Chains A and B, each alone.
Chain A
Amino acid sequence: SAVISQKPSRDICQRGTSLTIQCQVDSQVTMMFWYRQQPGQSLTLIATANQGSEATYESGFVIDKFPISRPNLTFSTLTVSNMSPEDSSIYLCSVEDRGRATEAFFGQGTRLTVV
């Protein structure tokens, strides 16, 4: 099973600023995923990050707001840009072990509060 370290675990940020969240995996994985978990709402996929290519964003999410880097097979970052209180949420990274969603692992999440 993959072990995922996500940093920071939580942060309180001023509106208009940006926060970069890091996700480190203890093994090489092809695909990494970034999710948002808003209070009382479903986990929502933001984008899929493959090493060596541009991230693929889901409907409602754009690269200018959520730029993603994937420099190698064990690391990814998600930046939440020009933050507003509506961006307050938990952000999670996830990987598929052996390329299967039925063997997906999640980081512990980053709890973001924008004031």
Chain B
Amino acid sequence: QKEVEQDPGPLSVPEGAIVSLNCTYSNSAFQYFMWYRQYSRKGPELLMYTYSSGNKEDGRFTAQVDKSSKYISLFIRDSQPSDSATYLCAMSLFDNNNDMRFGAGTRLTVKP
């Protein structure tokens, strides 16, 4: 079993839709949860991070962590064609790169 599971998609939605992206994980010790966005032929860029459980909102993006279910989500409201990218979840025990584990990424296309 992989430490982090993420449905690779692809996911295609119409503009304005609410998008839900999810990851599950096996290591209950993970404390830091991150979402990256990666445009084609670009490196990942950090969108949001959450420490421990709870929700975090930033504009149209909301990150949720449910540690009891080992499940994290990223919601995108009023999705735009510019949101078309691959979204990677990542998590770590500590706030450092050495033990960060990534999901395989979900490819999202938002159609005008």
Which chain B residue shows the least CB distance to A102? B49
* B46 close to A (CB within 8 Å): yes
Which chain A residue shows the least CB distance to B33? A102
Cβ A42 vs Cβ B102 within 8 A: yes
Q: How many residues of A contact B (CB 8 A)?
A: 27
Cβ B95 vs Cβ A101 within 8 A: yes
Interface of A is mostly: strand
Chain A CB within 10 Å, residue with most, of B32, B43, B45, B105: B43
Residues of A within 8 A of B43 (CB): 4, 6, 92, 94, 105-109
Residues of A within 8 A of B104 (CB): 40-42
Which chain A residue shows the least CB distance to B36? A106
Chain A CB within 10 Å, residue with most, of B88, B94, B95, B97: B97
Cβ B97 vs Cβ A104 within 8 A: yes
Q: How many residues of B contact A (CB 8 A)?
A: 27
Binary interface encoding of chain A residues 84-115 relative to chain B, with 1 for a CB under 8 A from any of its CBs, else 0:
00000000101010011111111111010000
* A48 close to B (CB within 8 Å): yes
Cβ A45 vs Cβ B97 within 8 A: yes
* A33 close to B (CB within 8 Å): yes
Q: Report the minimum CB–CB distance from B93 to chain A (whole Å).
A: 10
Residues of A within 8 A of B42 (CB): 108-109
Q: Which B positions have Cβ atoms within 8 angstroms of A?
A: 2, 4, 8, 32, 34, 41-46, 49, 51, 88, 90, 92, 94-98, 100-105
Q: Which A positions have Cβ atoms within 8 angstroms of B?
A: 4, 6, 9, 31, 33, 40-45, 48, 92, 94, 96, 99-109, 111
